[in-house]
């Protein structure tokens, strides 16, 4: 179906009131309506709709499973007369049904993404809370008990308590620095991606006892800040998963730049898991979302011989 009036692009996203308008009546009634006098019946000037000079209109509701999503409007047929008949109404209803399905699907996908993002964010908050409670808070509480005991005892006991307290404070400072680094590594901003990834590898060696090899071949000047952050976070999450769940001894981290983009791979020799099963507890959902936000994709393969996390990003 084609029309004689060309839509003025300046009126894209123009809001038309539902209350007190024909569009609202069509939406509520769920039935199409043919209009013979656009200016008088629609209640708005044709200029407001971007279809100057339109005489007739056909309004069809867009509904999906009893949900009213909008109204599809057509103005003036090319052929004389400009009014609409049964054939045009059936055709536009078909268009409206397809459009309603597309809109509902898009809304559903967006809602699912938002729910996944909120769940991922909540899991991250819970993890930081556990880290602060189980390590930092308990360490400081133990420090308070130690100093109180030393003060009561006095003498050599106080001196020993002071020395132990000094060591405990150094340990807690190191733990807090590690948490701060996980939140936003200074090395990533100050020294670049290579140094930040080496810091992650070194931490995995020291904390998790993993044998980590790092292969990096990228031109950092070609990567924007967001892409560097995405690569860093994916490697960070992958190494965290290996340390907590895989039971691995060796890990290989490779970040390579190609003509089409950047590839990332983290491979371990752990016990693996069923990649087809839900993996909410492993942060995979957040990793997929982070990759998707950068226009990339994440692939996960796992066997009894180990797990490979691979991501590809366009430049």
162 lies in some domain: no
Examine residue 314 and state whether it is found in any structural domain, yes or no.
yes
Instruction: Dump pLDDT digits (tens) for 208-242.
Output: 899 999 999 999 888 888 888 889 989 988 998 89
- 146 within domain boundaries: no
Has residue 111 been placed in a domain? Answer: no
CA distance 249 to 238: 14
The CATH number assigned to the domain holding 268 equals: 3.30.565.10
Among 33, 50, 84, where does a domain finish? 84
pLDDT digits (tens, 9 = 90+) for 235-273: 988 998 898 888 889 999 999 998 888 999 999 998 887
Q: What is the pLDDT of residues 68-84, one digit of tens each?
A: 888 888 888 777 788 88
Total tally of structural domains belonging to the chain: 2
The answer to the question of residue 138 being in a domain is: no
Domain assignment present for residue 119? The answer is: no
pTM, two decimals, is: 0.50
- Give a yes or no: residue 27 inside a domain: yes
Residue 103 belongs to some domain of the structure:
no
Nearest to 76 by CA among 5, 21, 143: 5
- Which domain covers residue 235, as residue numbers? 192-315
The domain boundary residue, chosen from 84, 104, 137: 84
Question: Among residues 84, 116, 147, which one ends one of the domains?
Answer: 84
CATH number of the domain at 42, please. 3.30.450.40
């Amino acid at each position: 179906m084609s029309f004689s009036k060309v839509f003025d692009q300046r009126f894209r996203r123009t809001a038309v009131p539902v209350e007190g308008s024909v569009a609202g009546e069509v939406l509520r009634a769920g039935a199409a309506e043919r209009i013979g006098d656009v200016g008088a019946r629609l209640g708005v000037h044709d200029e407001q709709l971007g279809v100057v000079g339109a005489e007739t209109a056909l309004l069809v509701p867009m509904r999906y499973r009893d949900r009213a999503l909008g109204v599809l409007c057509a103005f003036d047929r090319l052929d004389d007369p400009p009014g609409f008949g049964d054939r045009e109404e059936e055709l536009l209803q078909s268009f409206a049904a397809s459009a309603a399905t597309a809109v509902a699907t898009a809304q559903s996908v967006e809602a699912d993404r938002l729910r996944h993002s909120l769940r991922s964010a909540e899991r991250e908050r819970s993890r930081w809370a556990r880290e602060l409670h189980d390590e930092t808070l308990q360490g400081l509480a133990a420090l308070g008990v130690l100093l109180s005991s030393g003060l009561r005892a006095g003498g050599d006991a106080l001196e020993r308590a002071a020395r132990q307290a000094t060591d405990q404070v150094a340990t807690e400072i190191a733990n807090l620095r590690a948490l701060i680094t996980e939140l936003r590594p200074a090395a990533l901003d100050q020294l670049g991606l290579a140094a930040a990834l080496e810091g992650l590898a070194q931490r995995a060696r020291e904390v998790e006892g993993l044998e980590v090899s790092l292969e990096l071949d990228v031109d950092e000047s070609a990567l924007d800040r967001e892409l560097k952050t995405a690569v860093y976070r994916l490697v960070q999450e992958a190494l965290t998963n290996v340390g907590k769940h895989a039971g691995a001894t060796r890990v290989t981290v490779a970040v390579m730049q190609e003509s089409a983009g950047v590839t990332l791979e983290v491979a371990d020799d752990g016990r693996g898991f069923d990649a087809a099963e839900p993996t909410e507890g492993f942060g995979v959902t957040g990793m997929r979302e982070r990759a998707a936000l950068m226009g990339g994709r994440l692939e996960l393969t796992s066997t009894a011989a180990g797990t490979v996390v691979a991501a590809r990003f366009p430049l």
